[in-house]
A and B are shown apart, each in its own frame.
Chain A
């Protein structure tokens, strides 16, 4: 069975500062990893995904994430955040046995302050 842990439920940060949102997963087979963003009162939107190949994945809105197999991590980073990045961010995992069934972490609320 797979699981996802997002270590921080809330991350406050000042505008233009860098940010890292942490995600660790467990799975017994090769994994596929995703980051989704949810703006207030909206559905989820895919930020980026790792399926195979390069471990550094670039997504929309200047976000990137690095797949680290030895650490079983997939942390999300942005070098300089904007007020508009205030949202909830979800890490999710799937694997070849799960088809397209995603297991989500509990979410991290990013709060960007002016």
Chain B
């Protein structure tokens, strides 16, 4: 039982390049989330998917797109990377969109945009 997995672990991009961060969970969870973590700012929600087939914007969605490919997978795409998107990205999942459901986090992807 791997929990939440993320690929890649590290990535360096040049300004303007695109890339997709992959996330998968094997806990049969309905809800999935993408966060970014910046020093002193905690984690901020980028997008979330309350259930398969739905996605919604979080606090900082600009410059990102997401795809809920199926129940297991939730990808985050940067179409034209900018230095301001240098961050650590975390994917999380939970049984459902309720505070009573614990969010489980992946190990993170460290992204640097030059």
The answer to whether B42 and A99 touch across the interface, beta carbons within 8 angstroms, is no
How many contacts A-B (CB < 8 Å)? Answer: 63
Residues on B with C-beta less than 8 A from A103 are: 59
In the assembled complex, A11 has its CB within 8 A of some CB on chain B: no
Which of A14-22, A41-49, A67-75, A77-85 lies on the face that meets chain B? Answer: A41-49
The answer to whether B45 and A102 touch across the interface, beta carbons within 8 angstroms, is yes
Residues on A with C-beta less than 8 A from B102 are: 46, 49
The answer to whether B107 and A104 touch across the interface, beta carbons within 8 angstroms, is no
The answer for the CA separation of A32 and B101 in the assembled complex, in Å, is 11
The answer for the CA separation of A95 and B18 in the assembled complex, in Å, is 35
* B40 → chain A closest CB, angstroms: 5
The answer for the CA separation of A90 and B35 in the assembled complex, in Å, is 14
The answer to whether B100 and A51 touch across the interface, beta carbons within 8 angstroms, is yes
B100 nearest in chain A by CB position? A51
Which of these, B59, B103, B106, contacts A100 with CB under 8 Å? B103
In the assembled complex, B97 has its CB within 8 A of some CB on chain A: yes
Q: A9-B40, A100-B101, A107-B42 are in contact. Are A43 and B96 (CB under 8 A)?
A: no
Residues on A with C-beta less than 8 A from B12 are: none
In the assembled complex, B4 has its CB within 8 A of some CB on chain A: yes
Which of these, B41, B59, B105, contacts A45 with CB under 8 Å? B105
Give chain B's interface residues, CB within 8 Å of chain A: 4, 31, 40-45, 48, 50, 58-59, 90, 92, 94, 96-103, 105-108
